[in-house]
Structure 1
Amino acid sequence: MTAAAKRKKSITYKPAGQFEETRFEKIHNVVFESSNEASIRVAQEIASLIKRKEKKGETCVLGLATGSSPIKVYEELVRMHQEEGLSFANVVTFNLDEYLPMEKENVQSYHYFMHEHLFNHIDIPAENVNIPSGTLSGEAITEFCLAYEQKISDHGGLDFQLLGIGRTGHVGFNEPGSHYNSGTRVITLDHITRVDAAPAFLGIDNVPRKAITMGISTVRHARRIVLLGWGQNKARIIKETVEGEISSEVPATYLQHHKNCTFVIDTEAASQLTRNKTPWLVDESLEWNETLTAKAVFWLCVKLKKSILSLTDKDYNDNGMAGLLTSQDSYDLNIRMFNRLQHTITGWPGGKPNADDTNRPERAEPAKKRVILFSPHPDDDVISMGGTFDRLIEQGHDVHVVYQTSGNIAVSDQEALKFAEIAKGINGSENAQHLIDSIKNKKEGDHDVVEVRRLKGNIRRGESYAATRYLSLPDSNVHFLDLPFYETGTVKKNKLSDADIDIMMDIISTVKPHQVYAAGDLADPHGTHKVCLDAVFESMRRLQNEPYMKNCWLWLYRGAWHEWELHEIEMAVPMSPAQVLKKRIAIFCHQSQKDGVMFQGDDSREFWMRAEERNKATAEKYRSLGMADYAAMEAFVRYRYEA
């Protein structure tokens, strides 16, 4: 099937009017396997609305959102305009919000965003585009807000409102505390919202503290609302919005009252919904497979604070799991689940030589394996699996660490300036002075010149060597790919291309690995980790018919923010207290990412603290379920790639 045919394939979801509220869910929602598929479906709905209005000779009034969530929707609308003749001549748009203060020409402005992703590529009349102004002050702002509301009203209100959702539950920039009847106004941004925006601004200090936003009342008067939610980072707030009580502390919950609202989400964003996280509480007629059984048993242990072997028939019956005991008693079930979890534990991540591997996560043979450890940035290797990395080297495997991107944008100007001044102090070169001048003269919104980007990349490269040398890995086994999709000099990256895949395939075909480790983070479906993972998947798919790939296993690790759920884990590698300390020191080698890292997220702890506490928490979960007591554990899931 061609790419175009796939796009035209009918993807249906139940209209909001037919939705029956379940015991838990109060907003109609549709879950898709991927955000790309979901975005295409939403774009199709918007296109159909535009065409219907055009046939009637009417204007189609769209409320539009910014951020990473709607990007694929806009890409599909642009494609339909360019390839299928979709016209926007009868469309009037009103954007939700804009930072304040913010010049239109600033690459971080929503004015810039909308033109770059949509308006510059379609035939919408310029006078039909309405975006809040970020250049106003004083009384002019109040006048503008009133005029913005009036203009929406003059056009008959919004036919369709596209929304994203922030982790505070904000829609637009309607932060916690926003009133149900609020209109367009100035608002102070929540700290979490500014933290989430920090990567785009190269640090939270550069994120504006205020914004102008369309109000809750304006949004909820739209005749149709579609809210997009992608990735694990949105899972908690999606659950709270869909299943929680209406509250000004979670402004998105106001949408529960809307009669034509649909949340379009991917599987990761839907993962915390009750029907997905604990489906036995929703459906008593579940078909219990092994994975679902493990998920339920481990959840029950955590809820009741019991080990697996201490669960009773009553425990199962009282918690919606009576169906598990129809063909077995709790004793046999407990033993089976205990063994399942115990068999994930191994101190031999590369396989234990001359051992029966029937119940081990990895194969015993070959005893010495060729291993590729893919690291999206030049520190994910030690942050996410530093203990396993160390164990593989100690046990004699031929380990290759492959850094997929330079990570240069995560180096602050202050850090780069320090190195440039050191270089000048050593040889006094004109090149060093040029670097110093470029950094000092850089203005807000400016991109780094190529030389500064190279310096920042070299800083991270040197730190990577420091860590790998500390772990006794030969320099010849350290590879830097600098994948082209990343090397834009800005936070916004290019799409994954054949050039990226060719580079990936080359390193894989050179090493001919028995094991591959890759970052399985899906928190941001448009982030660097996800793009790097897609590059791994596609490269291995294209190479899968090569003889050496027949015996290659792919293991996925998680990053600094998340860990695999217990029922998902297929290999858990224990660490001793000494190894925990060794991993910490390896992370310390990445000095530019310590003490106020640029892209810290909503967690104030440094990366080594997050990783250490996460690994200790995993070991504690194992212990609480009845396993041995380890200092820490790193967890992995095996990925079975298909054609």
Structure 2
Amino acid sequence: MARLNLLEETRYEKLAVTVYPNQKEAVAKVAQRIAGVIRNKQQNNQNAVLGLATGVTPIGVYNELIRLHKEEGLSFQNVITFNLDEYYPMQPGAAQSYVRFMNEQLFDHIDINRNNIHIPDGTLSLDAIPAFCLDYEKKITAAGGLDLQILGIGRTGHIGFNEPGSAPNSGTRLVTLDDLTRSDAARDFGGKENVPTKAITMGIGTIFKAREIILMAWSKKKAPIIKKAVEGEISGEVPATYLQLSDHVEFVLDEDAASLLTRFDTPWLVKDCVWTNQLKKKAVIWLALEVGKPILKLTEDDYNNNGMAQLAVEQGPVYNINIDIFNRIQHTITGWPGGKPNADDSQRPERREPARKRSVIFSPHPDDDVISMGGTFIRLVDQGHEVHVAYQTSGNTAVWDDDVLRYVEFAIDFNQSIGEDTTQLKKLYGNMRDFLEKKHPNELDTKEILTVKGFIRKTEAISGARYAGLPDSHIHFMALPFYETGKTQKNPVTAEDVRLTIELLQQVKPHQIFAAGDFADPHGTHIVCFNIILAALRELKKTEAWVEDCWLWLYRGAWQEFDTYEIEMAVPLSPQEVVRKRNAIFKHQSQKDRPVFPGDDAREFWKRAEDRNRETAQRYDQLGMAEYEAMEAFVRYQF
């Protein structure tokens, strides 16, 4: 019976999928699978032939394999490896080289024979590549074929660098990289313009010959493409869908990466559900949008014809369900994000007391506050709350180099105009200019350049916060140490990051905290900054009573919004408030027009924010709520 139930739940899935509660558990299982292959081959005096991948996804597996080698004696003497791909052109010693990546993440820490390592050569001349690729295939065959191939997946659905349009029988070859793939690599190369346009990659046909294939994916960032790869039709537009044709493939996912699969996202379509209030809210909103009706117009037939008959039978009549969910959504809407004084707060998202709250807005980067919740920020100030903003990092890696020269030139001219000696400043300026003219992509800036970039972001943040109505004494710059590397790769969080956060919280003793809740990227600055806040609050909770009365609200940035069913506070913005928010964002001139790290969205930050806020309001309108110009959304986090 259990087997039948599982088949029913996974009927939309066209290949084998194993979902683990978190990445740590999944990584351990994959590493054990690899170790098993190696040990089985050792027992038979045979070589284990592994196909290896690069990128963030397999790093945890490589760390676990290193641990198994050092602590449990796993030997790699009988292992032959073939890597999937390499950028072209690429020197093996370059920071972005997959040769360097594999050495640093795995090979330098195990006892593998260096002659058994094979990685596509990014230094070849163009005319030498076809012969090299043919030889690469022959070497795989001569080694006995791949016993196990591990894969990640790109947001285009590429496996290796087999981009959309790749043929299912393709072999190792030179390819042109998709624009989105290059955008995703931009941080590693110090800008998209520095990312190679080509790469050498194993083909899909080569991958298919492996006796086992494991594709891994972690985090919600990968959830949309995983759904396409697992449940979508086979298509050259999503190369990973070709894996549906293999009987030897398994997708290994954490819960976040699997979250959009039907059995997790809309489970009522594949099984009977335990109808919690949250699941019921999610299902009814889904149904309303699916059939294009406001919630209060949903009928029994709508429920029955769209997989929700169980809910109608167990908790109907459906009109009562509709009323309940409509009220729950309506009660999230408030024009008083700090609570409405002298009002019944039993159906409001925030408390009425104290009437004048102390609020801290934590901003991971110097512009997240106004981009993500600028309207609410201004509303809190206008309504008389004691608002503080804390900029957690300097943001000094996200400033164009020519802006540095422009600001230093201004400083020289200003000092000259008031009769100050500018000799040292001119010398510093000359050194900066010489460095920047010779600077390599992603090269670490000098201390002086980083300082100026940090000052640029700081003055913009002050301008934006002042525009929102804050006095200078309520604007805090934390410059958390974990961020201050001058590189996109940051240091691990330390006790010092938490201590600085504790000190700020002790100073303000807030009733409300607003923090960035963009957790799709498990290595992003937002989640790192949030975990620091959480660690500080949990430490303070042990000794300070005020923490019990402190509520933590999450907001999201310009790239995404909370799902409607998740929203617990929706703050509507008038057309005038939208303009005020836009003007606050405009204070961040270094991020306007074209920021250093724009992501794959060509819109400016203010435009992304306005479109997102308008879409949230439109979604509420579609569900039958009042029509607003825009809305900012929040979710309360219980700590």
| Per-residue CA distance 1:56-82 (angstroms, 9 max, x = gap) | 332222211111212222222223333
Paired residue for 1:599, among 593, 597, 600? 597
Quick one: which amino acid aligns to residue 549 of structure 2? N
The residue that corresponds to 1:505 in the other structure is 502
Confirm whether residue 260 of structure 1 aligns to residue 248 of structure 2. yes
Asked whether the 8 Å contact 1:417–1:439 carries over to 2, the reply is no
Rounded Cα–Cα distance in structure 1 between residues aligned with 2:69 and 2:508: 45
Distance of aligned partners of 1:105 and 1:417 in 2 relative to their CA distance in 1, 3 Å threshold: farther
Alpha-carbon distance, 1:44 to partner: 2.8
The residue that corresponds to 1:184 in the other structure is 172
SS across alignment from 1:228: strand
Asked whether the 8 Å contact 2:173–2:200 carries over to 1, the reply is yes
Rounded Cα–Cα distance in structure 1 between residues aligned with 2:413 and 2:92: 41
Rounded Cα–Cα distance in structure 2 between residues aligned with 1:501 and 1:82: 32
Quick one: which amino acid aligns to residue 443 of structure 2? D
SS across alignment from 1:410: coil
- Mapping of residues 186-225 of structure 1, within 5 Å: 186-225=174-213
TM-score normalised over the length of structure 2? 0.94
Paired residue for 2:128, among 131, 137, 140? 140
Alpha-carbon distance, 1:639 to partner: 1.0
Distance of aligned partners of 1:439 and 1:293 in 2 relative to their CA distance in 1, 3 Å threshold: same
Paired residue for 1:552, among 547, 550, 553? 550
Alpha-carbon distance, 1:171 to partner: 0.2
The residue that corresponds to 2:418 in the other structure is none
The residue that corresponds to 1:563 in the other structure is 561
The residue that corresponds to 2:277 in the other structure is 290
- Mapping of residues 596-635 of structure 1, within 5 Å: 596-635=594-633
The residue that corresponds to 1:456 in the other structure is 453
Distance of aligned partners of 1:518 and 1:125 in 2 relative to their CA distance in 1, 3 Å threshold: same
| Per-residue CA distance 1:316-347 (angstroms, 9 max, x = gap) | 11111111222321221111111100010111
- Mapping of residues 9-408 of structure 1, within 5 Å: 22-283=10-271, 285-326=272-313, 327-408=315-396
TM-score normalised over the length of structure 1? 0.94
Confirm whether residue 537 of structure 1 aligns to residue 534 of structure 2. yes
The residue that corresponds to 2:484 in the other structure is 487
Rounded Cα–Cα distance in structure 1 between residues aligned with 2:407 and 2:64: 44
Rounded Cα–Cα distance in structure 2 between residues aligned with 1:85 and 1:494: 30
SS across alignment from 1:485: helix
| Per-residue CA distance 1:571-626 (angstroms, 9 max, x = gap) | 00111111100111111111111112122122110111111000001001111111
Question: Alignment length, in residue pairs?
Answer: 625
Asked whether the 8 Å contact 1:352–1:363 carries over to 2, the reply is yes
| Per-residue CA distance 1:78-104 (angstroms, 9 max, x = gap) | 233333333322222211111111111
Rounded Cα–Cα distance in structure 2 between residues aligned with 1:496 and 1:76: 21
Rounded Cα–Cα distance in structure 1 between residues aligned with 2:498 and 2:510: 17
The residue that corresponds to 2:637 in the other structure is 639
Moved more, 66-75 or 307-316: 66-75
| Per-residue CA distance 1:375-423 (angstroms, 9 max, x = gap) | 1111111111111111111122222211222111111222223223333
Alpha-carbon distance, 1:122 to partner: 2.3
Quick one: which amino acid aligns to residue 99 of structure 1? Y
Which runs of 5 or more residues in structure 1 are unaligned?
A: 1-13
SS across alignment from 1:408: coil
Alpha-carbon distance, 1:20 to partner: 8.8
Distance of aligned partners of 1:484 and 1:72 in 2 relative to their CA distance in 1, 3 Å threshold: farther
| Per-residue CA distance 1:196-239 (angstroms, 9 max, x = gap) | 11121121111110011011111111112111222333222111
Rounded Cα–Cα distance in structure 1 between residues aligned with 2:53 and 2:251: 14
Alpha-carbon distance, 1:260 to partner: 2.4
- Mapping of residues 399-478 of structure 1, within 5 Å: 399-427=387-415, 428=422, 429=425, 430-478=427-475
Distance of aligned partners of 1:485 and 1:19 in 2 relative to their CA distance in 1, 3 Å threshold: farther
Alpha-carbon distance, 1:442 to partner: 1.1
SS across alignment from 1:402: strand
Distance of aligned partners of 1:410 and 1:481 in 2 relative to their CA distance in 1, 3 Å threshold: same
Which runs of 5 or more residues in structure 2 are unaligned?
A: 416-421
Alpha-carbon distance, 1:21 to partner: 9.1
Task: Show structure 1 runs of 4+ deviating over 6 A.
Answer: 18-21
The residue that corresponds to 1:4 in the other structure is none
Rounded Cα–Cα distance in structure 1 between residues aligned with 2:62 and 2:538: 29
Alpha-carbon distance, 1:251 to partner: 0.8
Rounded Cα–Cα distance in structure 1 between residues aligned with 2:131 and 2:551: 62
Asked whether the 8 Å contact 1:21–1:28 carries over to 2, the reply is no
Rounded Cα–Cα distance in structure 2 between residues aligned with 1:615 and 1:198: 27
